[in-house]
Amino acid sequence: MTLSKVIIHELIKESESNQTELILSEELIPNNPETTALLTALSDSYKSDRILYAVFDETEGKYFPEKFSEYRNSQRTEIDFINFTRLVIGNLVSLIEPITFATGGYFVFSEYNDNGYNFIAVFLIRDVEGKILSKTENSFSIQTVEYVDTKNLAMACRINENRIDKNEINYLSFTQLRQQEVSEYFKNWISIEQLESSSDYTKSLYNIITQIEPPIDPQTNIQYEIETFRNLVYNYVSSSPTDTINIRDLSNHFYQNQDTISNFANENDISIDTEFRFNKRQLKKFIKLEVNRDGINLKFSRGVLNEKVRLSDDNPNLVIIESQSFANALRNEIGND
């Protein structure tokens, strides 16, 4: 991780109260090993949390996206960054005050590069153990960063600027609390709009399973073949009584590590929610291929690809099906006609 800018503001609000107090920093936190350690810990906590993907709601009057765009189009100086964070945190006050059970905390705004991608992130920390943050005259200082637990990262949002530059979707990701009312104000503040469908995420999972290194078969201590691994994933996922996939549970089942699949997705810039409802038709691609063109519908198991069904090396328009039982069945159908 390479840090560029970090600033912390504190919003004080107790649960069951509508009173708020905003303590604004006037300068950035010094970029030193302690700051890097804090942001690395927060980033790791974020990656291990339940992550959803989205874009900004670009309808007129959405404050956070407008100020973010203004910052992106500015000289991006330290003063520009400070002003951007102070403006958007000020806008949050009016949104959080009516939410009785919502509480404040430390809002850590950061700009950094991680794994080759440029991010602007907002981390909301509560109940920091060890009192790692203390107020100075114009900012906050970081005393020590020995332990930042995931439970202290209440909510967070991360914006991938590389995806914005490429006009890609899902450039915004965020953590989702189970307490819907409490977390909703955070989503409203950022102005989040979710676009991806169950079909898109099931496709993303297929891409991951196709590219990731297959796990070891515990019975033989030999790495699974990709076709076998796809079939096992299909069987595991399709057995869900709620038609949902939890990426961490899936990863823990096959790799004995809940972060293996999500880490691979992050490293390869593949967006996928931590938990989502799968699309049954897309899920069948783990075990079947289906093509429907020119009045011909061809559906077959991936296991027979390049064995009984293959593309001709000589003629790009020729598909070869080499199966005696299939040929006999086709002859029978033609004969019946």
Question: For residues 12 and 86, what is the distance between their CA atoms, to the nearest angstrom?
Answer: 15
| pLDDT of the residue at 127 | 59
8 by Cβ neighbours in 10 Å (0-12 / 13-18 / 19+) ranks as buried
Give whole-number Cα distances, 66 to 73, 79, 120, 308, in Å.
Answer: 11, 17, 15, 56
Question: For residues 174 and 53, what is the distance between their CA atoms, to the nearest angstrom?
Answer: 7
Question: For residues 9 and 165, what is the distance between their CA atoms, to the nearest angstrom?
Answer: 28
What pLDDT digit, counting tens, does each position of 131-141 carry?
456 667 777 66
| pLDDT of the residue at 149 | 47
Q: Which structure tokens are listed for 25?
A: 């920093």
Question: For residues 228 and 247, what is the distance between their CA atoms, to the nearest angstrom?
Answer: 19
Residue 148 has pLDDT above 50, yes or no: no
Question: For residues 39 and 109, what is the distance between their CA atoms, to the nearest angstrom?
Answer: 10
Mean of the pLDDT values across residues 180-196? 78
Residue 178 has pLDDT above 60, yes or no: no
Question: For residues 88 and 63, what is the distance between their CA atoms, to the nearest angstrom?
Answer: 7
Q: Range with the lowest mean pLDDT among 45-54, 175-184, 192-201?
A: 175-184
pTM over 0.85: no
pLDDT class of 290 with cuts at 50, 70, 90: confident
Mean of the pLDDT values across residues 154-175? 90
Q: Which residue has the tokens 């069948």?
A: 284
What pLDDT digit, counting tens, does each position of 245-283 carry?
999 999 999 999 999 999 999 899 888 888 888 888 888
pLDDT class of 308 with cuts at 50, 70, 90: confident
| pLDDT of the residue at 146 | 41
